[in-house]
Amino acid sequence: MAFDSFLFIYYFIPVMILLLAFVEGEWRNIALLSLSLLFYYYGTGLHVLTMVGITGVNCFGVAFIRAHDDGKQRKRVLILLISLNLAILAFFKYSGFIIENLNIILLLLGQSPIVYEKKVLIPLGISFITFHNVSLIVDVYRKSVPDNPGLMQTLNYIFAFPKIIAGPVLRFGEYIKTGWVCEIGPESFVRGMRIFIIGLAKKSIIANTLGGTADMVFSIPSDSLTVLMSWCGIFAYTMQLYFDFSGYSDMAVGIAKVVGLNLPENFNYPYTASSIRDFWRRWHMTMTGFFMNYLYIPLGGNRAGKARTYANLYIVFFVTGLWHGANWTFIVWGLYHGTLMVFERFGFGKRLDSIWKPLRHLYVILAIMIGWVFFRSSDIGSAVEYLKCMFGAGWVTEEMSPIVMVVDREFVFASCLAIIGSSPLIKNVVSMIDLRISEKNHLSLLKEVVGFVILIFILLVSSLYIAAGTNAPFIYQNF
């Protein structure tokens, strides 16, 4: 069930609010868990039983870790549980990829390939559920969870529907420290729906419009693609990816806030970054934090010399790329960003800091867009051919695709919104208006009324875009 669908917006949300409003205490947690499992069943069918079973094993193992003081026993159970979760993730998400590459090696050795015809259906949001299960196990093992959480609270941490599809990733220790219980209140409802509607607009108006352009350009054969059109295509995809993912994250944060759960922000205007290091401090921040806490630091971080630091960075970005999908294009994208991070740590970062800021920003945007070519392409060869077109080294034929195929009024409108929305301009203007109005109490009511009208207008326009059939599947849905 997509967040940007009429079913979710106009049926699921009202039913959720009514149900949670008529129950109290622990029954609200039970109701939320029931809604979450229903939501998950709608998106992934009986795989909900698989994920509940895995989580049940994790909860049993976590109880064992908490109850025992023997360091060796605790560590064995920790390794066993993490291995189990990663093995299940690998089976559903990477089994086909592993067998395909293994068959290539077998053919080179003159051996018969492995016959593998059945395509495994990937459970919805399995990567995010695995992240949260690993955080549950490790945080309890590290004793960073102060109290013994109840079963219902733990299950809601894993399955609360707002973060199943897109995150953000919430660390278990942080979740427990908030002392969260499911609550419904006027203030949280208003604040949450405001964030949700803004995220809905990002996804339905900007991302889906530019996504159509990106799909069109990337489907054109490289020998029919002009330089200008290839740049329009990767610009469209660059903006689509950001507004698609940040929009979905905003919707998740907003709907979670409605039920009293505070999810962390996932994006902080990443396209305004002045270095690749800065970009990764702003892009998908909760995933970056997860790999930092549960992979980079356990590997030794930057505490064991430069060579080890660089190796750790490559490992982290290799895993980051692989996490995004079972394809070599994602691995190349991850290693590409790892290489940029190593260069900046090696000394280029200091030189970069001394360069005029607009030029630094140009370098970052160019580097990011080159990386997104690999992220978007179906294979490495297609990515290389597309990059050739971008830099004028591709094939030239008499039947080159005209730019008017993609540049129309909708593209221009969505592009202008994307450029403005990817910077903190609107946020700064709103903050300035709020500051001015706060000095004049008689205008505060007017501000609330105008803000409400604007939000309703945005919701209606977003609904029109959805009704027109422009809504596209969420890019990160199977990650």
C-alpha separations of 85 from 58, 97, 112, 158 in Å: 9, 18, 31, 13
Q: Which residues of 416-445 are buried (b: 16+ CB within 10 A; e: fewer)?
A: ebbeebbeeeeeeeeeeeeeebeeeeeeee
- The separation between CA 133 and the C-alpha centre of its own chain, rounded to angstroms, equals 17
Question: How many CB atoms are located within 10 Å of the residue 291 CB?
Answer: 20
Question: How many CB atoms are located within 10 Å of the residue 403 CB?
Answer: 11
413 contacts: CB under 8 Å, gap ≥ 6: 209
**324: annotated active-site residue:** yes
Q: How far apart are CA 48 and CA 41, in angstroms?
A: 6
Question: How many CB atoms are located within 10 Å of the residue 453 CB?
Answer: 10
- The separation between CA 473 and the C-alpha centre of its own chain, rounded to angstroms, equals 14
- Residues 284, 324, 337, 442: which is the catalytic one? 324
CB contact at 8 A, 89 and 131 = no
Vertex 72: Cα angle to 70 and 74 (nearest 5):
70
DSSP state of 205: I
Structure-block tokens of residue 372: 């997104």
By CB atoms closer than 10 A (0-12, 13-18, 19+), residue 13 is middle
Question: How many CB atoms are located within 10 Å of the residue 356 CB?
Answer: 8
Q: What are phi and psi of 341, to 5 degrees?
A: -65, -40
C-alpha separations of 147 from 23, 183, 313 in Å: 26, 21, 34
Structure-block tokens of residue 284: 């998908």
Active site amino acids? 324
